[in-house]
Structure 1
Amino acid sequence: MIDDCTALVLAGGDSRRMGQDKAALILDGKTLLERVTAVMQQVFPKVIVSVRQLRSDVGVPQVCDAQAASGPLAGLIAGLAEADTSWVFAVACDMPFVTREIVLHLAALRGGYQAVVPVVGGHLQPLAAFYAAGARDAMRASLAAGDRSLRGALEKLDVRYVDEAELRDADPQLRSFFDLDTPQDLQAARER
């Protein structure tokens, strides 16, 4: 267990490209939210789900975005405010293949940084990343200035970016970073 950290499962998105609530989608007999939450419970003593409005299908504490329609940055800020640990591991509920091994690998890289963010295919993965509680003020300032982008908030932090070569030590096929944005992604996940 990573005792100095709370897992924050982000489940408050619009799901526009999917056309339905991604958290409730079924994969191998479980909802995406159940799958990701179960993995986080193997690693962290406390798991929180960030939602836009409270859900009845969640078996762990929930936190609502303080600022509506402000995307994952608002969810992350709410989770950081709710957590009573020095770190939060934020993960999107639409990443059903995230593994315990990748989380532990990223956790080992936190020393001296405000965030640990994977980079896969040249793209930042801020929704499978560690954030120090002290990063909350910079994130709030970014949101207050009208920048709802997690990437914009990262520019204000001391970040340890983790490239694919390092990530493959824990997840050789980088399956942890496969996210489900469209019905085609869901079909591909079901075929895996």
Structure 2
Amino acid sequence: MKGDPSPKTETHKITGLILAGGQSRRMGQDKAGLIYRSRSLLDRATDLLRHLPVGDIVVLGREDTKYGVRDTEPHLGPARAIRNWLRRQDKPMNLLVIPVDMPELGREQLYELLAHEKGAYFHDLYLPFYVRAAKASAVHASTERMRDLISAFDLTELPVPVHWRTALMNINTPDDLRALEERQLG
């Protein structure tokens, strides 16, 4: 199947990282706990990773969950959260990073990322992404923006097929969530 991970990508060697530590100011409530199709966004993201060739799952910014770890600098953005977490790791790792606020994200999109030797991301989106052998030394202490992080990892940029636009859509406001729910009903 197109997009399946290569044989070189062993299950136990991929860490799935869910970004769930944002303030959710525009949403007005914690996005990880939002219910979409009868399940929280955090449960959806965790279940998605469980059905992929991922060994370890980490929920960054959520100590209150089974897989949660504290963000050392809370609410300073995803690039800094990833950078700081990666700097605490003792060895390079294959890392699949997904946001908690992309409820229609599926295996097909993530397998497409995993299929690329050095890692990949989708055009005009910094999340999700996959990087092979991510190591702290690749990320400078001054890395504060996602575009800088993606550049530091030298990832392959992939086009976004039109039929994947909904799957790769973040929800940031109550209106975004309503629009997604209406799209699914229509």
TM-score range, shorter chain: 0.7 to 0.9
Q: Aligned AA for 2:44?
A: R
The reply on whether 1:103 has 2:99 as its aligned counterpart is no
Task: Name which of 76, 80, 86 aligns with 2:82.
Answer: 76
The reply on whether 1:38 has 2:47 as its aligned counterpart is yes
Q: Distance in 2 between matches of 1:155 and 1:61?
A: 28
Q: Distance in 2 between matches of 1:92 and 1:83?
A: 24
Q: Aligned AA for 2:83?
A: I
Change beyond 3 A, Cα 1:83–1:41: farther
Q: Aligned AA for 2:122?
A: P
Q: Distance in 1 between matches of 2:36 and 2:74?
A: 29
Deviations 1:37-79 (A, max 9, x none): 111110023211001x522xx2x32122223342111322344
Q: Aligned AA for 1:126?
A: Y
Secondary structure at the aligned position of 2:134 is classed as: helix
Q: Which runs of 5+ in 2 are unaligned?
A: none
- Counterpart in 2 of 1:151? 147
Using the TM superposition, give the Cα deviation of residue 82 of structure 1 relative to its aligned residue in structure 2, in angstroms.
Answer: 4.7
Asked whether the equivalents of residues 21 and 74 of structure 2 are also in contact (C-alpha less than 8 Å), the reply is no
Asked whether the equivalents of residues 9 and 49 of structure 1 are also in contact (C-alpha less than 8 Å), the reply is yes
Using the TM superposition, give the Cα deviation of residue 126 of structure 1 relative to its aligned residue in structure 2, in angstroms.
Answer: 1.8
Q: Distance in 2 between matches of 1:78 and 1:132?
A: 18
Q: Distance in 2 between matches of 1:133 and 1:78?
A: 16
Question: What is the aligned residue count?
Answer: 172
Asked whether the equivalents of residues 8 and 79 of structure 1 are also in contact (C-alpha less than 8 Å), the reply is no
Q: Distance in 1 between matches of 2:25 and 2:94?
A: 30
Asked whether the equivalents of residues 91 and 135 of structure 2 are also in contact (C-alpha less than 8 Å), the reply is no
Secondary structure at the aligned position of 2:97 is classed as: strand
The reply on whether 1:25 has 2:21 as its aligned counterpart is no
Q: Which runs of 5+ in 1 are unaligned?
A: none
Q: Distance in 1 between matches of 2:110 and 2:137?
A: 24
Task: Name which of 145, 165, 185 aligns with 2:176.
Answer: 185
Asked whether the equivalents of residues 64 and 78 of structure 1 are also in contact (C-alpha less than 8 Å), the reply is no
Change beyond 3 A, Cα 1:83–1:135: closer
TM-score, normalised to structure 1, is: 0.79
The reply on whether 1:10 has 2:8 as its aligned counterpart is no
The reply on whether 1:127 has 2:131 as its aligned counterpart is no
Q: Aligned AA for 1:28?
A: R
